[in-house]
Every structure is written in C-alpha cells, then in structure tokens.
C-alpha cells in the first residue's frame, strides 16, 4: 500500500496547493507548536493564500 491512503500522503499531495494550510495546521501539535507563527518568524497565512490564489486543482 505504501503511503497512499495515509494522512502523510494527503499532506504531501496538497503541500504546494491553496489547500496546504488546511492539511498542515492540524499537525502542528505533533511537532510541538500551536501555530506557524510560533515556529516560522514573520509567517503570515495570507502570504500562502496569495501565493496560490486562483490555482486550480
């Protein structure tokens, strides 16, 4: 079966899409963080949204 069908596959599959935050934010606790701003200085979610705005899946 490999990684297909596992949560990690969904994260990697959507990593560079407009939906990436939805797939990654729920795993912040796994790495001991409560938000991206806690671990990425200067992080702003709207930057990610703007980067992929209009992107078709």
CB 10 within 8 A of CB 23: yes
Instruction: Show the domain range for 44.
Output: 7-52
* 1 located within any domain: no
The verdict on residue 38 lying in a domain is yes
- Which is more confident, 8 or 33? 33
Residue 2 within any structural domain of the chain: no
Q: What pLDDT sits at residue 55?
A: 55
* Tally of domains within the chain: 1
> How many Cα neighbours within 13 Å face the side chain of 21?
15
Mean pLDDT of 26-32: 89
User: Would you say 50 and 56 are in contact if contact means Cβ atoms under 8 Å apart?
Assistant: no
Q: DSSP letter at 5?
A: T
Q: What is the pLDDT of residue 57?
A: 47
| DSSP state letter for 4 | T
Task: Compute the average pLDDT of residues 15-36.
Answer: 86
Cα–Cα nearest to 23, from 9, 34, 33, 37 = 9
Q: Please give the pLDDT value at position 32.
A: 92
How confident is the model at residue 2, as a pLDDT?
72
């Amino acid at each position: 079966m490999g990684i297909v069908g596992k949560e990690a596959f969904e994260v990697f599959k959507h990593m560079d899409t407009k939906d990436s935050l939805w797939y990654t934010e729920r795993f912040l606790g796994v790495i001991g963080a409560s938000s991206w701003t806690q671990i990425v200085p200067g992080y702003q979610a709207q930057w990610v949204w703007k980067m992929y705005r209009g992107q078709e899946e």
